[in-house]
Amino acid sequence: MIKKLTIILLIAAIAISLVLVSAGCKSTTATTTAAETTAAAAETTAAAETTAAGKKITVGFSLPFIEDSPYTFPYATALKKEAAARGWELIMTDAKGDVNTQANQIEDMVTKGLDGLMIMPVDAKGIVAVIQKVGKETGGKLPMITSNVMTDPAELPELKGFAGPNSYLEGKLMGETYIKILKEKGITKINYTEITGTAGYSAAIDREKGFDDALKENNATEMFNRLDLQPGDWSPDKAQTITENWLTTFGDKLQMIYSHNDGMAIGIVKALKNAGKKPGEILTNGCDGQTEAVQNIIDGWMTFTVFQSPAEDAATAMRTMEKILNGEKIEYFNYMETPIIDASNAKEYLPKVTEIWSGK
């Protein structure tokens, strides 16, 4: 009897234990499932918040050159820094100086779902057709601006605006500076040649017109006798060759060379040095404020340059696009400042321009 009772009690104890274990297992499973569900929900919410708040802005920038130009290389470097500072994705293309390539690259970029498009045209007139095409295909919903180089005509309904230097006013400034220099030197008439940028490039057109208008508006046209005008295509090597030919053709009659940019001015200086000329014997200038040009001013080979910082040029474009994307109203023309660098301030500017033009 006692043995049977012991067995019954033992069976009962085992049964109770099994029930308790089973209950414990259910409780643990239920708790784990709830925790996992809460964590998953939290992760989903966080992911949703990240997607909503963290959508990256993607902008495209069509450049005529990148590494093949002393101006666009530091410009492109500055663009990358400006985009990174805003957390934007930047797509850049290099047209290698060909307007048809640039048009194709622009059309391809648009298919990538851009939030904004910036263009530095290879050709002021040639780029208009693709801008109009993109405007039509996107229903005018893709914000577009030009930078550094204006279109021809300068204002297009498909564009939100232009950001960069005013090349016409730069030309006027260079003309006015030469007038001032001649008057200070007591020179009543000077023989000069002009070396321009690439034909069709708005900066070349505007710097020629601005210079000429400065002479007219200051009644100084008779002071300047132009012997020749040649396109130097912004190239130091081409400018050097053209200058060598001018020195042969005009000899001592040549007194001044009006250059549309620093790159060509640097080529001019090399030709003058090779010809045995002395610093300042033939007046010349530049525009951009490149390091070598500023050093040439310090050394007396160049009279002045207009400081057009590629870094500030790029920043002006990015600030303008940022305002547009933020829904702010902007003026169509958004110009940057371009001061004169001459013998009075060249040493002060040298460290600054050295850093900018290094492209770092």
Nearest-CA neighbor of 259 among 349, 343, 169, 178?
A: 178
| Domains of the chain, earliest start first | 58-164+311-329 (3.40.50.2300), 168-307 (3.40.50.2300)
Condensed to tens digits (0 to 9), the pLDDT of residues 312-327 reads: 999 999 999 999 999 9
Instruction: Please compute the mean of the pLDDT values over residues 189-217 and round it to a whole number.
Output: 94
Output phi, psi for 207, to 5 deg.
-70, -30
What is the model's pTM? 0.76
Which of 84 and 71 is assigned the larger pLDDT?
84
Beta-carbon contacts of 137 under 8 Å, excluding residues fewer than 6 positions away, are 110
Distance CA 126, CA 143 (A): 20
Condensed to tens digits (0 to 9), the pLDDT of residues 224-254 reads: 999 999 999 999 999 999 999 999 999 999 9
- Checking DSSP bridges between strand 283-288 and strand 333-335, what pairing results, if any? unpaired
pLDDT of residue 54: 58
pLDDT of residue 69: 81
